[in-house]
Amino acid sequence: MLCRWNNLAFFSLLAMAFVCRESRFVAAAEPRQHWSFQPLARVNVPEVVDASRVRNEIDAFIIQGLERKGLALANDADKYSLVRRVYFDLLGLPPSPDEIHAFVQDESPRAYELLLSRLMESPHFGERWGRHWLDNAGYVDVQGLDNDAGIISTTENKWLYRDYVIASFNSDRPFDRFLTEQLAGDECVDWRNADQYTPEMQTLLVATGFLRNSADDTNANELNRRDVHHQILERTHEVVMNNLLGLTIQCAKCHDHKYEPLLQTDYYQWQSFFQPAFNPDKWLQPAARQIPNVSAAEKKRIDDHKSQLDQQIAGLKGQIAEVRKPFEQQVLDTKLAQLPEPIRADTLTATRTPVDQRSEVQKYLASKFEEGLKVKPDEVAAIMTGPEKDRIAEFEKQISSAASQKRTFQHWQAVYDSGPPTATRVLNRGDPLTPGEEVTPAMISALAFVKKPDVDIVPQFGSSGRRFALAKWITDPESPAGSLTIRVRVNRVWQHLFGRGIVKTTDNFGVTGTKPTHPELLDWLSASFITDGQRLKPFLTRVMTSSAYRQSSIRVDERCARIDPENALLWKQRVRRLESESVRDAILTVSGMLDRSMGGAPVPVEPRPDGSFVIKKEGLPTPTAQYRRTIYLLGRRNYHPTLLSVFDQPNLTTNCSERSTSAVVLQSLTMLNDAFVLEQAGALADRIIKTVEPKDRWITTAFEIVLGRMPTAREVDWCQNAMTLEADYHRQNDAQCSVEEAEKRGFSRVCHTLLNTSEFLLVP
């Protein structure tokens, strides 16, 4: 039996070895055959049979795919649906009734383009599209793994990176510049030797917070270990690759990837770009890694000035002590006089002897009399004369003035090389305790330049220059890696607008990922993105003005569902559920309670004993801070406000390239019973009652505000009946309830019902 088991084990190991050998062969021999690893090539726009729906080149590609199956685009969406779709896609907020009416009634041919342009100039555009990027980057406000609901470990000024991202999208920063700043902002300027930081230096240093999003618990000494250092380094560069290149390289940590054209040496050559900044040999704990938000020269001036003021304050305190000294002695003498004369001297000696040096007698005397002999400030003040009090008041005034002159500084969560690079080695089986051959920074073999496999790394500004070289390589649109980066970016933008990417697996463009439904369109869009200067706003305009985007989400031709049940060919627009942030932000918008202030420290959240998570209302800077946009709530990895959690707020253990959408009972129960939703339904009712006359317009107005359309006659009847029944119930069961209050409660229930409709939670 033992021999049989050994034979089976032998053949199993032999098979595993063969698979590994074969996978290495596939990785080494076929890396450049995969479509996503090829540089971008010129793509001709196809001609289609029915050109009546072609608004731009995008439509030609989509219609060509449909015509091959005998299908066609759906009709254009009606204006009410279209304006609601555009507002949510560009701002993440619903339009107001006035904004809807203005668009619907505008018959000019450029009304739609002007709407897009106006919304893209809104500061809320950066909040919406910045949130997408923060998902990709894995941004949270906490520092560590966040495995305890009750422990919230935040990091000083980490939110500055979030504000940098929002500002970048609002200013439409070119994507190649955006990436370079985040990967190597510290290597773009000589910040180490600057006399003062310029605004550009601040922007570049804060931008590198992109690389500070991996969980780091090494502030706890028990976790400040070499293996943990390697884990943080690995998570950092793995997320960067997944975010920018849409590849999963984790398997290559221990061996050549079994399926993808990624070698184990690729993994560590890629890692070596980041090693000088996250060097396991010269590890910096989180508190040591952050940098002052002032230059080294400015910090020295601040420290020197503070030292001078401290000396001045110490001298003033000494003068106060001299003035108080005789009066303190007088108080002490009075208290000593109340003790028996034989023990006075011994008691005084006992109180002045250090605790650990007292004899048993001294310990006894101190326990009996020490507290009573303490001289209190108010006792001294009571016997002081006017001139002495005036002198002390003047000294205290000078102390206060000196203290107010002290300059302080805060810290930024930036990334920089922690010293000269040390060797990066291939770890046998991924174990830091078994290092192997040394490797140098180099591109992934499947994505390297054909004629230029090496990277030019030029140390500069006191840094290795490795990440700057990486940024140059990954933003070069003529390189295979740069082409892949553009494809991944374009595909994710498409995903946000259509509910699914041209490549469905937005985080996997490798061999194991899905193939694009429209490969020529993806390459054409990528080339157009480059032509647009890698700016998002012109690209969004191009996509959103297409008939493919503007078509209805309502199915007309039944054949479409039979021929293409997944709507992969895009024969209609997809209905999309609002993301968790948009659910909360939309509720606040329609209730009129949304605080639209931008930027700044995050709004704190806290767990409740019942297991729910809510906004912490104590200590907020303003009463309305609790109603700020959701992007400004404190972001955690694993614990989110309950409303967000039930609507699929992602857990950011690493990063998220695509939000999942579920339909569970808890969502309905939360919308029906959550205190926040009930509060906002009441606020919506108050808003309408105070501003709309007569009463018979309340229901119509509620529909316009919440759903962006007029109600049908049947819907008005249903709501009126429900409102009447609810009002009657309160009048019958609450003797203190007035007619007006009963009507308000009834209407509040109608508003709550509208917030619970599927229509409110969907993008048409």
**Residues 10-40: pLDDT tens digits?**
444 444 444 444 444 444 444 556 888 888 8
Q: How many other β-carbons are positioned within 10 Å of the β-carbon of residue 678?
A: 16
pLDDT at residue 360 above 80? yes
φ, ψ (nearest 5 deg) of residue 65: -65, -35
Count of all residues that appear for the chain in the document: 764
The predicted pLDDT at position 32 comes to: 55
Tokens encoding 689:
């009652």
Tokens encoding 91:
């701002």
DSSP 195-233: SS--HHHHHHHHHGGGGG-S---TTSGGG--HHHHHHHH
Question: Which distant-in-sequence residues (6+ apart) come within 8 Å of 565 by Cβ?
Answer: none
- Kindly indicate the confidence band of residue 5, based on its pLDDT and cuts at 50, 70 and 90: very low
- 641 and 605 Cβ atoms separated by less than 8 Å: yes
Q: Report which of 663, 678, 672, 702 is spatially closest to residue 578, judged by C-alpha positions.
A: 663
φ, ψ (nearest 5 deg) of residue 606: -150, 150
- 607 and 149 Cβ atoms separated by less than 8 Å: yes
pTM of the predicted model, to two decimals? 0.90
The predicted pLDDT at position 453 comes to: 52
Convert the pLDDT of each residue in 334-351 to its tens digit. Answer: 988 999 988 989 998 999
Tokens encoding 265:
């040496």
Proportion of the chain above pLDDT 90, given as a percent: 81
- How far is 548 from 61, CA to CA, in rounded Å? 10
Tokens encoding 278:
């996250």
Tokens encoding 632:
């400004």
Convert the pLDDT of each residue in 100-145 to its tens digit. Answer: 999 999 999 999 999 999 999 999 999 999 999 999 999 999 999 9
- 595 and 628 Cβ atoms separated by less than 8 Å: yes
φ, ψ (nearest 5 deg) of residue 629: -60, 150
User: Which single residue is written with the structure tokens 């008691």?
Assistant: 347
DSSP 422-478: --EEEEGGG-TTSEEEEE-----GGGS-SS--S-----BTTB--HHHHHHHHHT-TT
The predicted pLDDT at position 13 comes to: 44
Q: Report which of 307, 252, 286 is spatially closest to residue 157, judged by C-alpha positions.
A: 286
- Kindly indicate the confidence band of residue 454, based on its pLDDT and cuts at 50, 70 and 90: low
Convert the pLDDT of each residue in 670-713 to its tens digit. Answer: 999 999 999 999 999 999 999 999 889 999 999 999 999 999 99
The predicted pLDDT at position 554 comes to: 92
Question: Exposed/middle/buried for 487, CB within 10 Å: 0-12, 13-18, 19+?
Answer: buried
- How far is 168 from 453, CA to CA, in rounded Å? 32
Sign for the pseudo-dihedral over CA of 35, 36, 38, 39: positive
Average pLDDT of span 65-80: 96
Convert the pLDDT of each residue in 75-94 to its tens digit. Answer: 999 999 999 999 999 999 99
Average pLDDT of span 738-746: 91
Strands (E), 579-690: 605-607, 613-615
Long-range Cβ contacts of 661-670 (<8 Å, 24+ apart): 661/576, 661/577, 668/756, 670/642, 670/643, 670/646
- How far is 530 from 60, CA to CA, in rounded Å? 20
Q: At 598, which amino acid appears? A: M
pLDDT at residue 588 above 80? yes
Sign for the pseudo-dihedral over CA of 266, 267, 268, 272: positive
Q: What do you get for the CA distance between the two ends of the chain, in Å?
A: 66
pLDDT at residue 736 above 90? no
SS3 call for 642: helix
The predicted pLDDT at position 464 comes to: 96
- What residue segments make up the domains of the chain, in order of their start? 26-73+483-569, 175-288+413-474, 296-409
Average pLDDT of span 634-643: 95
Q: Which residues pair with 628 in a beta bridge?
A: 595
Convert the pLDDT of each residue in 549-567 to its tens digit. Answer: 999 999 878 899 999 999 9
Whether a cis peptide bond, with omega within 30° of 0, leads into 377 is: no
- Kindly indicate the confidence band of residue 450, based on its pLDDT and cuts at 50, 70 and 90: low
Tokens encoding 658:
């695509």
Strands 291-292 and 411-412: antiparallel
Q: Report which of 568, 586, 564, 581 is spatially closest to residue 494, judged by C-alpha positions.
A: 568
- How far is 25 from 544, CA to CA, in rounded Å? 44
Question: Exposed/middle/buried for 145, CB within 10 Å: 0-12, 13-18, 19+?
Answer: middle
The predicted pLDDT at position 452 comes to: 53
- How far is 339 from 325, CA to CA, in rounded Å? 22
Question: Which distant-in-sequence residues (6+ apart) come within 8 Å of 501 by Cβ?
Answer: 491, 492, 494, 495, 658
Convert the pLDDT of each residue in 286-306 to its tens digit. Answer: 999 999 999 999 999 999 999
pLDDT at residue 723 above 60? yes
Q: How many other β-carbons are positioned within 10 Å of the β-carbon of residue 73?
A: 24
Q: How many other β-carbons are positioned within 10 Å of the β-carbon of residue 195?
A: 9
Long-range Cβ contacts of 195-204 (<8 Å, 24+ apart): 195/295, 195/297, 195/298, 196/294, 196/295, 196/297, 196/298, 197/293, 197/294, 197/295, 197/298, 202/293, 202/412, 203/164
* Residue 658 CA: distances (Å) to CA of 7, 41, 371, 500: 46, 27, 66, 9
pLDDT at residue 470 above 50? yes
Proportion of the chain above pLDDT 70, given as a percent: 95
